[in-house]
A and B are shown apart, each in its own frame.
Chain A
Amino acid sequence: MHRLEFKDVYKRFGEKVIAVNNANFFVDEGEFVTLLGPSGCGKTTTLRLIAGLERTSEGEILINDKVVNALSPSERDVAMVFQSYALYPHMNVFQNIAIPLQIRKMAKKDIQMRVESIAQMLGITNLLDRKPRELSGGQRQRVAIGRALVREPNLFLLDEPLANLDAILRHRMRGELKALFHNVHGTTIYVTHDQEEALAMSDKIVVMNYGVIQQIGAPEEVYKRPVNKFVAVFVGNPQINIIEVGNIASLSKLISSQKMMTLEKLSHEGKVEIGIRPENITLSEKGNVKGKVFLIEPMGANLLVSVEISLNSEKIRVKLFIPNTFNISEGEEVPLSFKEEEMLFFLNERRVDIK
């Protein structure tokens, strides 16, 4: 039973810095959970709290339903892959992978077998007698993963393992990593600032900002029903369009009058914003909104088109994400259609459901 639970966990550094602010979440056996957020949001600190490399200021951490706060890293039986890989430079690949088993006094023959089978799984059998300095970045990463996989720990912790790889390798490793940890039925906690990675690999995403957990949910949940503006903006590439209007009435072409009335009422309670993802704005002859194209950014099979729309007195700028089969040019006036059912509405940066 490899579960993790955080109960009311706080981590403070000194008086002023609250790195982890009231964290509550759990990870079920076999789940692949990603801690996602911008730099400095507390995700790495959270991972280090799990590993025991930092002590909690408040709250409890439970592994397999047992409180582990007082246990040192060596006693928690978790395996960690560091962002820098942290391979022991004076040992060769075989020794690097074998050492967790040697510490646990496993028999030499068994160690030999396990290390070789892990090496085969990761495709590094031919590198076993090399030292880390003789390996490429991708190879080092595999060795680091091997060192984690060779045990059968309670949890696997991965700290931005793909961050130091080039783009192509990164994309390829996403699928490989997910399959690897799935095949060993590992309960995995993965830290990244790359929301694409998180969406592609996770069973569950924990979005964090400034030490506070913003939302916990499956990728689709976090993407389609973000709980606040931060999550909506952070998750999704290309980034969501956020429209802020002074006069709700100017939105008449975009949303139903019923919605407009609700928004009008809400606008007295605070700031109202509308979010719509670039892929939910399309070019359509039936479209009732005209936009002037001022920038086209080719993105391979798609185009990111920036348009300016006049809504009564106001001008807003949005980007649309359309296939490159469309033939448009800068300066052109194009008819747009906004998918009303995919719009997200925010009051004071929290999402509200509006009928």
Chain B
Amino acid sequence: MRLKRFFLYVGVVIMAFYCLFPIYFLVLDSFEPTSVSYSSPPILYPVAFTISNYVGVFKDINLITYIKNSTIVSLSATAMVILIGSMAAFAVSKIKFKGSMPFMNFLLILGFFPAAIMIFPLYEMFAKFHLLNNYLSLILPYTSASIPLTVWVLATYFEQIPTALYEAARVDGMSRFQAFYKIILPLGIPAVSTVAILDFIACWNEFILALTFMTKENMRTITVGISMISGRFAYQYPWGEIIAGALLVTVPLVIIIFIAQEKIISGLTAGAIKG
């Protein structure tokens, strides 16, 4: 028994090392001059120390602008997906209309399409509607792309909420929307928070559509912006600045995840779905 425990711990430590080492390495190199990053074999311990990378990132590119754009696009898309997706999930799981299963299957198939396939038709369409370099050119595709997974996850979670609660709400005099808003949605917060985070991260990290539709400097999102750092230097990749930029960009994500994680866990332990 003790032996099993030991191997378990060893396994966990190896996994943790495997996951955390890259982050350690990145953080390390963000404070080293780029020449250190180019050493072969790679240097794994601190040698010099400099904050020039971080300074450079802010100086050489419009980091603030990019973060602003990413935030606007990701937040809007996530908000829309949650709004539309939660109502759809509610209808499928509680109202149980005719054709709800075909609808879900249709969504599933839709979810198999990578958004990147749609680049050509989307580009043409947005060009025609003068939506290029407009936030909507990203918000709309991001929303559509996230709907299938969101609806599936939320519908599955809502199914777990006892139908008697919905029925009691209706008999108590609530309309369908009131029952959704006052009863089902509050009870679904753990799942809603989870998909919200996943959606936000997906939007934040998206590259191809952002690269294609936002060509103006002041509209670029963070993923594209950081990829462009390398373009300014003729002779070598400024790894130090790239790494610094990438880490800076990850910080908001980590904060959001920590906040939402609390909501998710407290929602789950509140449990008491048993009426």
Contact residues of A between 85 and 119, Cβ < 8 Å to B? 85-90, 99-100, 103-104
Interface of B, secondary structure class, is helix
Question: Counting CB contacts under 8 A, is A347 at the interface?
Answer: no
Task: Specify which chain B residues have a CB less than 8 angstroms from the CB of A132 in the assembled complex.
Answer: 272, 275
Question: Counting CB contacts under 8 A, is A319 at the interface?
Answer: no
Q: Which of B171, B186, B273 is within 8 Å of A53, CB to CB?
A: B171
Q: Which of A79, A103, A133, A151 is within 8 Å of B174, CB to CB?
A: A103
B171 with A133: CB separation less than 8 A: no
Knowing A53-B167, A82-B168, A90-B270, say if A74 contacts B275 (CB, 8 Å): no
A89 with B272: CB separation less than 8 A: yes
B165 with A88: CB separation less than 8 A: yes
Question: Counting CB contacts under 8 A, is A68 at the interface?
Answer: no
Question: Counting CB contacts under 8 A, is B203 at the interface?
Answer: no
Knowing A88-B183, A90-B187, say if A73 contacts B275 (CB, 8 Å): no
28 contacts between A and B (CB under 8 A): A52-B171, A73-B167, A73-B171, A74-B170, A74-B171, A74-B173, A77-B173, A78-B171, A79-B171, A80-B168, A82-B164, A82-B168, A84-B162, A84-B274, A84-B275, A85-B275, A86-B162, A86-B168, A86-B275, A87-B275, A89-B270, A99-B182, A104-B173, A131-B272, A132-B272, A133-B274, A147-B172, A151-B173
What residue in chain B is nearest A159 (Cβ atoms)? B164
* A binding-site residues for B, Cβ under 8 Å: 51-53, 72-74, 77-80, 82, 84-90, 99-100, 103-104, 131-133, 140, 147, 151
Instruction: Give the distance to chain B from A180, nearest Cβ to Cβ, in Å.
Output: 19
B170 with A72: CB separation less than 8 A: yes
Question: Counting CB contacts under 8 A, is B175 at the interface?
Answer: yes
Instruction: Give the distance to chain A from B176, nearest Cβ to Cβ, in Å.
Output: 8
What residue in chain A is nearest B267 (Cβ atoms)? A90
Q: In whole angstroms, what is the CA distance A261 to B173 when docked?
A: 62
* B binding-site residues for A, Cβ under 8 Å: 162, 164-165, 167-175, 178, 182-183, 186-187, 270-275
Other A-B pairs beyond A72-B170, A74-B175, 10, CB < 8 Å: A73-B167, A79-B172, A80-B171, A82-B167, A84-B164, A85-B275, A88-B169, A90-B186, A90-B187, A103-B172
Task: Specify which chain A residues have a CB less than 8 angstroms from the CB of B270 in the assembled complex.
Answer: 89-90
Task: Specify which chain A residues have a CB less than 8 angstroms from the CB of B187 in the assembled complex.
Answer: 89-90
Task: Specify which chain A residues have a CB less than 8 angstroms from the CB of B178 in the assembled complex.
Answer: 103
B164 with A133: CB separation less than 8 A: no
Task: Specify which chain B residues have a CB less than 8 angstroms from the CB of A78 in the assembled complex.
Answer: 171
Task: Specify which chain B residues have a CB less than 8 angstroms from the CB of A104 in the assembled complex.
Answer: 173
A133 with B168: CB separation less than 8 A: no
> Could you say which of A100, A147, A151 has the most chain B C-beta atoms within 10 Å of its C-beta?
A100
Q: In whole angstroms, what is the CA distance A86 to B172 when docked?
A: 11
CB-based A-B contact count at 8 angstroms: 73
What residue in chain A is nearest B168 (Cβ atoms)? A86
Instruction: Give the distance to chain B from A127, nearest Cβ to Cβ, in Å.
Output: 15
For the complex of A and B, list the 4 residue pairs with the smallest distance between their C-beta atoms, beginning with the closest.
Answer: A133-B272, A86-B168, A73-B170, A86-B164
B275 with A51: CB separation less than 8 A: no
Q: Which of B162, B170, B182, B271 is within 8 Å of A133, CB to CB?
A: B271
Q: In whole angstroms, what is the CA distance A99 to B186 when docked?
A: 15
> Could you say which of B171, B175, B271, B273 has the most chain A C-beta atoms within 10 Å of its C-beta?
B171
What residue in chain B is nearest A147 (Cβ atoms)? B172
Task: Specify which chain A residues have a CB less than 8 angstroms from the CB of B273 in the assembled complex.
Answer: 89
Q: In whole angstroms, what is the CA distance A104 to B167 when docked?
A: 17
Instruction: Give the distance to chain A from B101, nearest Cβ to Cβ, in Å.
Output: 16
Instruction: Give the distance to chain B from A91, nearest Cβ to Cβ, in Å.
Output: 9
Q: In whole angstroms, what is the CA distance A151 to B174 when docked?
A: 14
Q: In whole angstroms, what is the CA distance A331 to B159 when docked?
A: 59
What residue in chain B is nearest A133 (Cβ atoms)? B272
What residue in chain A is nearest B169 (Cβ atoms)? A88
Knowing A88-B165, A90-B187, say if A51 contacts B272 (CB, 8 Å): no
What residue in chain B is nearest A76 (Cβ atoms)? B171
Q: In whole angstroms, what is the CA distance A88 to B169 when docked?
A: 9
Q: In whole angstroms, what is the CA distance A212 to B172 when docked?
A: 29
Task: Specify which chain B residues have a CB less than 8 angstroms from the CB of A87 in the assembled complex.
Answer: 275
Instruction: Give the distance to chain A from B69, nearest Cβ to Cβ, in Å.
Output: 37
Q: In whole angstroms, what is the CA distance A51 to B273 when docked?
A: 23
Instruction: Give the distance to chain B from A85, nearest Cβ to Cβ, in Å.
Output: 5
Task: Specify which chain B residues have a CB less than 8 angstroms from the CB of A99 in the assembled complex.
Answer: 172, 182
Task: Specify which chain A residues have a CB less than 8 angstroms from the CB of B175 in the assembled complex.
Answer: 74
Task: Specify which chain B residues have a CB less than 8 angstroms from the CB of A89 in the assembled complex.
Answer: 165, 187, 270, 272-275
Q: In whole angstroms, what is the CA distance A117 to B149 when docked?
A: 48
B272 with A103: CB separation less than 8 A: no
Q: In whole angstroms, what is the CA distance A151 to B168 when docked?
A: 14
What residue in chain B is nearest A48 (Cβ atoms)? B167
> Could you say which of B162, B165, B187 has the most chain A C-beta atoms within 10 Å of its C-beta?
B165
Task: Specify which chain B residues have a CB less than 8 angstroms from the CB of A77 in the assembled complex.
Answer: 173
Q: In whole angstroms, what is the CA distance A238 to B186 when docked?
A: 49
Q: In whole angstroms, what is the CA distance A89 to B162 when docked?
A: 11
